[in-house]
Structure 1
Amino acid sequence: MADRPSPERNSGSGEEPSVPDDVWDKFLKDTEAELAGAPKEPSARARMVTERLRQQDARGESPESWRAGPARPERRRRVWPALGVLLAVAVAVVAVKPSVLPGDPFGTKDHAGPSVSPLPAETVAPTAPPSPADSETPSLARPFAGSPAERWADGAAGIVLPKATPVGTLSKARVEQALRQTRTLLVDANLDPATLRGERPATALGVIEPQQTELLTRLDTALSKPDEKHDPLSMFSRFDPAEIRLVGDVIKTRGRITFKAGEQSSVAVHADYTFVYPVTRAGGSKEVTRTIVRRVLDIQMSDPARYKVTPGKITIRRYDRDVGNSACDVYDGYLHPAFTSDTATGAPPTGPTTDPYDRSKGIEDDRTKGCGTVSRV
């Protein structure tokens, strides 16, 4: 129980009468009831005593319990909302970035695989094949696991053009146009989803010099009626959607484009690129393999002020390809990857075993060595 307040002063004589005992007892009981139960309207006497005690408090004369009592519940009410705000912020941070928690409580690292650093862009021919990668099996979650291509660039981002400079009578702008058209041909022929599922690569065909009628006729026939002498795979990458589907939306790419002065006031562009396609069987199969296609193109763009050429179009002087992991002697216009679970049929391979990732060697022009095998996919 709080101590009784000291005598008060009278406003008329300089001293006020002290609070009567019965009034003080009434005040204490009312105060205890208000703290213990539901709030209620204080009596008139309690209000009078309260007012007197507030005046004493202003002069520093109130009992200690009067000043200290009500402060504790007020602090409790303010602490809980503050803790709630801090907890909400912590939950939001963990939701956005679970890695801030020690360990891996949500299992987010199990499916991401080890982090790999991307290779710098290829500017010159490598001197050796890529080092062996970890012997991991590709999966739907990690289709490039166990492949050197896991460190290669993604799709068109890997086709990096060199800085254009004037060549002979051709301006920097003309050279840059030849480089861009070469890139357009590569992207549409090897990376465009429509081309990959067997549709007509209209954009790629559209950058070719219209005066190359023999080439365009041969390509048109290959796309509409493929056979051994008219194979669209010589220029375009295609999979039969009824048989094969790509895994994910990433195709790994590595190579380089160079240019120099060509004959007849032209710029000669050389492109050498390898594309790695992760695939699975259509129909829900979970087994993943890869087909690797390397393409070499020699392109020319002549000065339209000196020769009768179509401005902005490129002339194809050479187009060659080497394919790793696709059935030999099949001329239906599609790539046919082999899977580990496939049962061997037909005659055994007669050609050499090669590494489809080896970019240190040129593509063989002699195709008489027969159908070989690949050392890795």
Structure 2
Amino acid sequence: MWERFVQDSERDIRTSQAPKEPSARARMVTERLRQQEARGELPQGWRTDPVGQGASGRQARRRKMWTIIGIPLALAVAVVAMKPSLLPGDLFGTDSGTGTSTGTGVGTGPLPAETAPETAAPASAPGTPTLDEPFAGSPAARYADGAAGIVLPEAKAVGAFSKAQVAQALEQTRALLVDANLDRGTLLGATPETVLDKVLDPKQPELVDDLRSRLRKPGKDDDPLRLFSRFDANEVRLVGDVVKTRGRTTFEAGADGAVDIHVDYTFVYALAPADPDSTEVARTIVRRVIDLQMADPAKVQVTPGRLAIIRYDDDVANSACEVYDGFLHPRLSSADPTGAPPSGPTVDPYDRSRDIGDDSENQQCGTVSRT
């Protein structure tokens, strides 16, 4: 069809410009007009025919112009027909759903950063987790990878602190979240030294010493999992290098010129049995809500640049109930159940629109609707 279009266009141009042999009648009329012109019987300028000849010239030029424009236009139409995605937007409805989404519906692209509380649980996602794609079938597949999911708000001066000091407090908050929930050493049982030595205020009564004691000798009333994510390397191994992260950080002016920082984050861990030949994949979901404070050293006896923990809550999905050895124990189909069976209500661990409760350490271990 393209070749026919080009051939027809070239033929029209040749036809419009090629000379034609006049008919016998045309020759007789031409001769009569020439004789009348010689005798002076025709007005001057009769040959110019400003309307007829000018119109014919314009028609020829118009045909030539449309031929010049038509060829590249037809070529562009052919290219777009073969690949509609070259057009901006989605004029023909060809979007496959790989873009981002700001809602909780089904999608495959990464979610935008969470800037406000979510209003509903995310929709179900198709797929089955594998060693190559451990987050398949989970809303976490659209979460950010690791620390990229900890998006800090823009700092501004608050209370007794300058913009730069508030920015420092927010960075300290990020360091706490990373070291406690994302650092590979911490996840495999190491002590989160950044949290204990560089972030938390040693002048906060007994907090740092108490956390170190919990890590050394965990128990029901001394559970380090309330603040740290840790797994037993003799039982499970981490699948890949990614922990999926979603949440938000906010801050406001506190009492006596302090900066109060609130964090609410969900961390999703992909795990497999420690046996290197096993292909089973399980996921454990941990949500942490923590209130931190940077107090004014002029009014409170604190360490400048350090944070105090005011409140912390946690919600763990797919881990053994009533086991207090300092490690999370994901339920594996290839292993015997560990701990007591779930006794609490069924909850969706990906529903970030729900409140995870108060600071009680005796929350019931519930059944999860999905992992």
Aligned to 1:171: 162
Aligned to 1:256: 248
Which amino acid in 2 is paired with 1:226? P
Give the whole-Å Cα distance in 2 for the aligned partners of 1:150 and 1:219: 32
Give the whole-Å Cα distance in 2 for the aligned partners of 1:228 and 1:298: 23
How far off its partner does 1:370 sit? 2.6
Aligned to 1:374: 368
Report if aligned partners of 1:327, 1:338 keep a CA contact under 8 Å in 2. Answer: yes
Give the whole-Å Cα distance in 2 for the aligned partners of 1:274 and 1:327: 18
Aligned to 1:240: 232
Aligned to 2:322: 329
Structure 1 unaligned spans of 5+ = 1-114
Question: What TM-score results when the alignment is normalised by the length of structure 1?
Answer: 0.67
Other structure's SS at 1:142 match: coil
Give the whole-Å Cα distance in 2 for the aligned partners of 1:368 and 1:307: 32
Report if aligned partners of 1:350, 1:369 keep a CA contact under 8 Å in 2. Answer: no
Give the whole-Å Cα distance in 2 for the aligned partners of 1:203 and 1:347: 34
How far off its partner does 1:217 sit? 2.0
Q: After superposition, where does 1:1-377 map in structure 2 within 5 Å?
A: 116-134=108-126, 136-206=127-197, 207-284=199-276, 285-343=278-336, 348-365=341-358, 370-377=364-371
Cα RMSD for the two superposed structures: 1.7
How far off its partner does 1:310 sit? 0.8
Give the whole-Å Cα distance in 2 for the aligned partners of 1:301 and 1:326: 33
Give the whole-Å Cα distance in 2 for the aligned partners of 1:345 and 1:218: 27
Give the whole-Å Cα distance in 2 for the aligned partners of 1:210 and 1:348: 38
Give the whole-Å Cα distance in 2 for the aligned partners of 1:253 and 1:347: 28
How far off its partner does 1:298 sit? 0.3
Distance change >3 Å, CA 360–CA 323, structure 1 → 2? same
Question: What TM-score results when the alignment is normalised by the length of structure 2?
Answer: 0.68
Report if aligned partners of 2:294, 2:307 keep a CA contact under 8 Å in 1. Answer: yes
Structure 2 unaligned spans of 5+ = 1-106
Give the whole-Å Cα distance in 2 for the aligned partners of 1:249 and 1:344: 26
How far off its partner does 1:308 sit? 2.3
Distance change >3 Å, CA 346–CA 201, structure 1 → 2? closer
Aligned to 1:40: none
Other structure's SS at 2:261 match: strand
Which deviates the most, 209-218 or 323-332?
Answer: 209-218
* Matched length: 263
| CA radius of gyration, larger in | 1
Per-residue CA deviations over 1:268-304 (Å, capped at 9, x if unaligned) read 0000000000000001211001000000110100122
